[in-house]
A and B are shown apart, each in its own frame.
Chain A
Amino acid sequence: MSIPPQQAPDPKRFEVSKGTLLFDRLMTQVIRCGGIAVILAVFGIFLFIVKEIVPLFSGAEVRPGEVREQTGERPQVLGVDEWGERPFLYSGRDRITFISATDGQREEVEIPGLKDKVITATAYDPVNRRVALGLDDGSVGSFIVAYQTEFADDGSRTVKPEITLEPWFQVSVGEGAVKALAYGDGGAARVLVVAREKGLAVLRLAQKRALVGKPKLALAGTDDLTSQVNSEILGVAASQNGQAVLVADASGEVRYFQSDAGKVSLIEVFRPFGEEPPVRMDFLFGGVSVAMTRQGGEQKIFSLFRPEGSEIRVFGETKSFDPLGSGTPVFAPNLRNKSFLTGAGGRLTLRHLTSGATRWEGEAPFEPVLATFDGKSEHFFIAAEDGRIQGYRLDDPHPEAGWRAFFGKVWYEGGSGPVYQWQSTGGTDDFEPKLSLIPLIVGSLKGTFYALMFSVPIALLAAIFSASFLPHDMKRVVKPAMEIMASLPSVVLGFLAGIWLAPMVEDKVPSILLLCLSLPVSALLVGVLWCRLPMKSRRLFEGGREWLLLLPVLGVVAMVAWSLGPLLEKALFVYRDPGGREIADFRLWWPQATGLPFDQRNSMVVGFMMGFAVIPVIFTIAEDSLSNVPKTLTAAAAALGASRWQVVRSIIIPVASPGIFSALMIGFGRAVGETMIVVMATGNTPVTSWNIFSGMRTLSANIAVELPEAAPGSTHYRTLFLGALVLFMLTFTLNSMAEILRQRLREKNKIV
């Protein structure tokens, strides 16, 4: 054998080719970029959500304008146009003073027909900018301050005031000068509440349409309420729609009269502050709530609500605010929402009715006696005793937001007590949005709970069976089948649940109850009998094929249980109707027995269907971790004489527990975030109830249903994002806790 001649070794043999190095470095960078991009994307989504939410929790922004000089007269009415440009002051004479908020220019305008009238009382309705006047001879009238907005060619805007006098009416009731009055403008039907030195009357005015010309306002009737009030009348108030009239007297009593269908009737007498009368009664936007303020600044909100079992709405105290302090209280309702400006002795606060929150607080440069909002809720003005006025620019896009509104119990207008409620939009502009997230959180947890209650036992037992008992060839079929099940679009499941399953199981509840009971019990019974069988017959089905024997048994049991359902219903779930007839119907029995409603689209249906979506997820992950338990351990346990079940229980499950745990958590995450099934199968009623036979609305379904119709940037829109954040935090905290627990378990059951 000849040795080949020794050649000088190639000096390049230790070098790495440039291409290899380049590719290696390129891939490192590509992977790094991809990874960082994913992390940034997730973080970016989180930031976006937070950015949408933050404005909800910031208070109102208020910037004061300049103080305009005094008129020297004590003003009785302060009003402003909708742009907040030309406020006016009226001090009960025949002139009205307009002041420009931009440059302070003053303009005096004569009011025709007031020349030699003695005005003894005024009232102001900021919505129609109507000043109601009461005279010393007992007649009442009103004028409207209108602003004509003209746009010049360059886009600049000029606001021109225009004053229209309305007809005078002589009050036939009582005697003496008019002391106090209130005007409620319900469009066609209006009321004028007039308190004279002696006597109290409600004038009902009707807008009569004429064939030609403007509609005419005429007196439709006068109601004499003098006899209904016992002591001296201190103040009157009427709601915007003219249906509610409040009269406060010196004894501290407030009377609520309802004007309805040409009739004024006393509904309720109440004492907001005991013996002491309120100094102010101001209706809030919507005319359902009234703010009562007494000397010293204590402020309470009374809202119309229907007490349990009553058909008539009465006023009840729903909220009370911190005292305003000493001084003359001022009050101005916002004309766009349920917030209001109030204050006393130079301090001003902007409060919100629903959440009870203080949106802004500030110090006025003088002690105001009057305050008003503009029609767009962008400005408010205050006026001092000496005729000085100051304007403020207001920026408060989300007055109804706040922790209390989202997570607290709130007594809404018209409700009979504080509740958690979600009702984001209503039919009218003066609707009070109910933005509590609690019903949605409860809905999410409820759907998840029932889905997991159904799916966890099935998925885990199936995973254990497949991993440790099922023969290999069958497992090769079962596992991919389950994985295909996981890829079923949830909209299909939701559709099935809503259209097919819900109507089908609606009248089969007793059958389902029987099934839930009889299937596990019969499976256990088969197990017991199996042990009694002689070895020879057991051999036939050994090695994980025992289920072939179990299957027909379960089928027969299921059929029997299904058909026995109506019998069970007849025996146990009998509804007795008011006539004494007995009807065997679970749907009627359940509300009677538990007091909870029964809906066709209920949590049971969702539990089943969402369970179907969750089962494959839990199954696949749990099965993997159970299968991955080292064979050396199971073999050692088997060699020590442990039965299959003992091996599973004492060796496989403890070692696989971290994996099983993450399977459960991923299943939980899937169920919490699941949207389509719950949208289609729950009825989407945001109820705060754990009743299995009622529907629910989940956070995710809420976003899916309402986001398309929420105006971007509105409170509603941002609140939906808040719901998204809550959902995110819910899964995030639970997953973090689960991860910590999982690490502990893994540490405990670590294999070398």
Chain B
Amino acid sequence: MPREDFIAVDHFSFFYGAKQALFDIHMDIPERQVTALIGPSGCGKSTLLRNMNRMNDLIDGVRHAGDIRLNGSSLYDPKIEVISLRKRVGMVFQKYNPFAKTIYENVVFSLRVAGRNGRRELDEVVERSLRSAALWEEVKDRLHESAFGLSGGQQQRLCIARAIANQPEILLMDEPCAALDPTATLKIESLIRDLKEQFTIVIVTHNMEQATRCSDRTAFLYMGRLIEYGSTRQIFETPRQEETEAYISGRFS
């Protein structure tokens, strides 16, 4: 039975120094579904996403209030190492960012840093991850070439393969198609629909059609506040809030 509150954002507020970026966000994200975060630029959707694996810790002068729980355990539990936490959560960034390494080494990076170096295990992981990311057929003959030889869309799928190599529970995607052309975008979208069989996916997107095409739930954020959260169909067909309607109908962006 999939859990309804797989990611539980519990009255979460977030500050960059003196500036408050998130105001008392409260939402439950269900297991093995795609949840889209939409909203105009600067509304805090990326901030919320990046808090789900504490990537914002890398920035100086941040603080938070409230809590986020992954599968019941708090992100801010002082007994938990932030490193082991991040291993439960894969992340795909807006701009594809493979390392200056071979395709193979890119995929197995998360295993290498965990000290898992068994040749057979790594080979299996590479094939499985690249197949999941729908990239295997295209790159299987040049696994040991530089990742920079791939096209933009292929590089982004490589990043997805890299993010899922260690089989995390959650996959966070921060506008994964923003730097891609329409064909590559469609490929990634269909990949997202396939990946939700295995992962709980949270995706930040500017593209509302993308949200309708590949998400099950949609949350609309505006000015750091969660305005409306529901099934994608409900949000786009019968928005309950005025701002939501105004946004999805394109009256402001």
Contacts and interface: CB of A to CB of B under 8 A. Distances in A.
Contact of B99 (A633, A639, A646, A748): A633
Nearest to B105: A650
B100 A641 contact: no
B79 interface: yes
Given A640-B110, A641-B113, A748-B100, A632 B93 contact: yes
Contact of A535 (B61, B79, B100, B162): B79
Interface stretch (B84-92, B119-127, B180-188, B212-220): B84-92
B25 interface: no
Given A638-B86, A640-B166, A632 B95 contact: yes
Interface of B is mostly: mixed
Interface in B78-117: 78-81, 83-84, 86-87, 89-91, 93, 95, 97, 99-100, 109-110, 112-114
Contact of B55 (A635, A646, A654): A635
Interface in A686-736: none
Interface in A493-535: 535
B237 interface: no
A640 B113 contact: yes
A536 interface: yes
Given A536-B78, A641-B110, A473 B60 contact: yes
Contacts of B93: 632, 635-636
Nearest to A748: B100
A535 B78 contact: yes
Contacts of A635: 55, 58, 93, 97
B109 A637 contact: yes
Given A640-B109, A643-B83, A650-B112, A632 B166 contact: no
A310 to B, nearest CB: 67
Tell me the interface secondary structure of chain A in the complex. Answer: helix
A538 to B, nearest CB: 9
A643 B86 CA distance: 10
Interface string B140-178: 000000001000000000010011001000000000000
Interface residues of A, number: 30
B205 interface: no
Contact of B148 (A473, A643, A752): A752
Interface string B68-86: 0000000000111101101
Contacts of B55: 635, 638-639
Contacts of A651: 99
A539 interface: yes
A152 interface: no
Contacts of A117: none
B18 to A, nearest CB: 15
Contacts of A301: none
A637 B108 CA distance: 11
B13 interface: no
Given A473-B60, A535-B79, A650-B112, A639 B100 contact: no
B53 interface: yes
A744 interface: no
A635 B174 CA distance: 12
Contact of A636 (B79, B81, B97): B97
Contacts of A654: 100
A496 to B, nearest CB: 37
A641 B61 CA distance: 22
B148 A641 contact: no
Given A638-B58, A650-B112, A750-B148, A630 B86 contact: no
Interface string B21-43: 00000000000000000000000
A203 interface: no
A641 B86 contact: yes
Contacts of B80: 535
B204 to A, nearest CB: 14
A749 interface: yes
B148 A642 contact: no
Contacts of A312: none
A639 B112 CA distance: 14
A536 B79 CA distance: 7
A471 interface: yes
Most chain-B Cβ atoms within 10 A of its Cβ — which of A472, A637, A748? A637
Contact of A751 (B78, B100, B113): B100
B96 to A, nearest CB: 9
Nearest to A631: B58
Nearest to B60: A472
Contacts of A655: 100
A547 B91 CA distance: 31
Contacts of B97: 630, 632-633, 635-636
A535 B97 CA distance: 32
Interface string A611-644: 0000000000000000000111111111111110
A637 B99 contact: yes
Nearest to B88: A641
Nearest to A538: B78
B7 to A, nearest CB: 16
Interface in A578-635: 630-635
B78 A642 contact: no
A595 B162 CA distance: 60
Contacts of A630: 97
B114 A641 contact: yes
6 closest A-B pairs (Cβ-Cβ)? A641-B87, A639-B91, A640-B110, A632-B97, A642-B113, A472-B60
Interface of B: 53, 55, 58, 60-61, 78-81, 83-84, 86-87, 89-91, 93, 95, 97, 99-100, 109-110, 112-114, 148, 159, 162-163, 166
Given A641-B113, A651-B99, 20 more contacts: A535-B81, A539-B78, A630-B97, A631-B58, A635-B93, A637-B113, A638-B58, A639-B55, A639-B86, A640-B87, A640-B109, A640-B162, A641-B86, A641-B87, A643-B113, A650-B99, A650-B112, A654-B100, A750-B148, A752-B148
6 contacts: A472-B61, A473-B60, A636-B91, A639-B55, A641-B83, A641-B166
